[in-house]
Structures are given as structure tokens and as C-alpha cells.
């Protein structure tokens, strides 16, 4: 995507902060890889494309920098950051810990309405996979997990994890279309929903462990396939040691 086309899906809501809306817009483009790692982001060009002053763009880019999604070199360059594998790993550990607790509680409750909502998200994912709509597939993947957080009354935790998941989400975007990953996701979600409905807490946790381990176990093959999208291995190793 060129910076001239940034405004294609952007509609400013005058009742909300412009900086927040620019942040949300750019973050979505980065996480969905519409703005690929390494893409330059001129503050002036972004502002002109969105018909805004530079100030909200500057604030949005600063927020994205804190999330590790852009690099800002003052007076020189801003660009989309390559995928930080250590950031992805750390969010994965957090998400795994939380979701193991969530499914344990949901299995104990055995709420049929929760299971019905999970099944509805699964049906939408299956429909997307049939037509190879991977963007839609990922959207309803998130709906499946969001349903669990909502049922556990942990929406603030959901928002926190989502806000920190940019690098992990980009890895998953790369992974879902290849090596039967999407079909494996469906199988895992089906197992989780079935175990919750059956009141099988241990089984639900087993499915969650399998489900959330998938992308990180494929890091080597993803690095080989998309070497320019990820931080150099030396950088990842140094950060992991720190």
C-alpha cells in the first residue's frame, strides 16, 4: 500500500480524538501487513493523505513506537518495525496463562449460551476458509477468543493483551495461509468449544496449549520464508538474553 492510498478506509469521526483514530487506522494496516515491515512512514505524507495536521499523526506514531510497531529516528525517518520475535514470545506466554484459566472456569460453568456463541464464531470461520478469505478467518478467530474473555468478565484483560499483540498478530497473519494452519485452528477451536460444553476443564486446557503453541513452533520456517519481515536473529537473541 502506498501512503497516497492511506485514506481509502479512513473516515474521521469529529466526536473522537483524531490521534486515537489515526493510531487505530495505522495499527490495523500494520497488523494486517497492508503496511509491510520496513515501509517508510513520512509524518507529512501521512498527514496530507488523511487531510489532517501533523500533530495527531505524530501522537499516533509515538504510540505505535511504544508498542514496537514503528521505529522513529528523529529528524530522519519513521518506518514500520520488523517483527520482534521476543515481543511475540512474551505476549504468547501471557495469553497462554490467561486462557488456561479462562477455559478452566468456563468448563466448570458449562453455560450453553457461551458454547452457542463459540460455535457461531466457528461457523463463520469455516465459511471464510471455504472461500480462502483469510482476513475474515482471522477476524472470527479473534471473535472466538473474545467470546471467552467476555464470558469470563475479563474484557479489560482482553484489551490489554490485544494492545500488546501486534508482533504476534503479524506472525499469525503470515502463518495462517500456509501449511494447513487455518484447518488446524478450526480443529483446535472445535476441541476447545466441545470440552467447555462437556465440562471437561483438563481437556479444554489441553486444546488451548496445543492451539497457542502452533505459530511459535514454526518460527524457523517463517523466518526462512519471510526473512525481510523479521528482526535479525542476532537482535532477537540479544533481546532474549536481556
Query: Which pLDDT value is given to residue 4?
Result: 63
What totals of helices (H) and strands (E) does the chain contain, helices first? 12, 2
pLDDT value, residue 238:
44
Q: Give the per-residue pLDDT at 241.
A: 40
The pLDDT of residue 179: 79
CATH topology of domain 85-238: 1.20.120
Q: Are 173 and 31 in contact (CB under 8 A)?
A: yes
Which of 60, 64, 66, 58 minimizes the C-alpha distance to 80? 64
| Whole-angstrom distance, CA of residue 185 vs CA of residue 201 | 19
What CATH topology corresponds to 3-80?
Answer: Arc Repressor Mutant, subunit A (1.10.10)
Cα–Cα distances (Å) from 22 to 74, 115, 158, 223, in that order, read 20, 36, 21, 30
List per-residue pLDDT tens for the chain, 242 residues long.
Answer: 666 678 788 888 989 999 999 999 999 999 999 999 999 998 999 999 999 999 999 999 999 999 999 999 987 889 999 999 889 989 999 999 999 999 999 999 999 999 999 999 999 999 999 999 999 999 999 999 999 999 999 999 999 999 999 999 999 999 999 878 999 999 999 999 999 999 999 999 999 999 998 777 788 888 889 989 998 754 444 444 44
Q: Where in the chain is the domain with CATH 1.10.10.10?
A: 3-80
Place of cell 529516528: 73
Burial readout 77-107 (b: 16 or more C-beta within 10 A, e: otherwise) = ebbbbbbbbbbbbbbbeebbebbbebbbbbb
Q: CATH 1.20.120.530 spans which residues of the chain? A: 85-238
**Hey, which bits of 142-184 come out as E strands?**
none
pLDDT for the residue 18: 94
Determine the angle formed by the axes of helices 134-151 and 85-109, rounding to 10 degrees. 50
Amino acid at each position: 500500500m502506498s501512503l497516497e492510498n492511506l485514506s481509502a478506509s479512513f473516515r474521521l469521526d469529529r466526536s473522537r480524538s483524531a490521534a486515537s483514530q489515526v493510531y487505530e487506522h495505522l495499527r490495523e494496516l500494520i497488523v494486517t501487513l497492508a503496511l509491510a515491515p520496513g515501509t517508510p512512514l513520512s509524518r507529512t505524507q501521512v498527514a496530507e493523505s488523511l487531510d489532517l495536521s501533523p500533530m495527531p499523526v505524530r501522537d499516533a506514531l509515538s504510540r505505535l513506537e511504544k508498542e514496537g510497531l514503528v521505529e522513529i529516528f528523529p529528524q530522519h525517518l519513521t518506518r514500520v518495525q520488523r517483527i520482534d520475535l521476543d515481543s511475540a514470545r512474551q505476549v504468547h506466554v501471557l495469553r497462554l496463562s490467561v486462557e488456561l484459566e479462562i477455559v478452566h472456569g468456563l468448563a466448570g460453568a458449562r453455560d450453553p449460551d457461551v458454547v452457542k456463541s463459540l460455535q457461531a464464531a466457528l461457523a463463520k470461520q469455516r465459511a471464510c476458509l471455504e472461500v480462502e478469505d483469510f482476513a475474515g478467518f482471522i477476524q472470527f478467530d479473534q471473535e472466538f477468543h473474545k467470546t471467552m474473555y467476555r464470558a469470563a468478565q475479563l474484557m479489560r484483560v482482553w484489551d490489554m493483551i490485544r494492545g500488546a499483540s501486534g508482533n504476534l498478530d503479524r506472525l499469525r497473519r503470515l502463518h495462517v495461509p500456509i501449511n494447513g494452519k487455518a484447518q488446524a485452528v478450526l480443529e483446535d477451536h472445535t476441541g476447545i468449544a466441545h470440552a467447555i460444553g462437556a465440562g471437561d476443564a483438563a481437556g479444554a486446557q489441553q486444546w488451548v496449549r496445543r492451539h497457542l503453541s502452533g505459530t511459535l513452533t514454526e518460527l524457523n520456517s517463517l523466518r526462512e520464508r519471510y526473512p525481510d519481515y523479521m528482526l535479525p536473529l542476532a537482535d532477537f537473541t540479544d533481546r532474549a538474553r536481556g
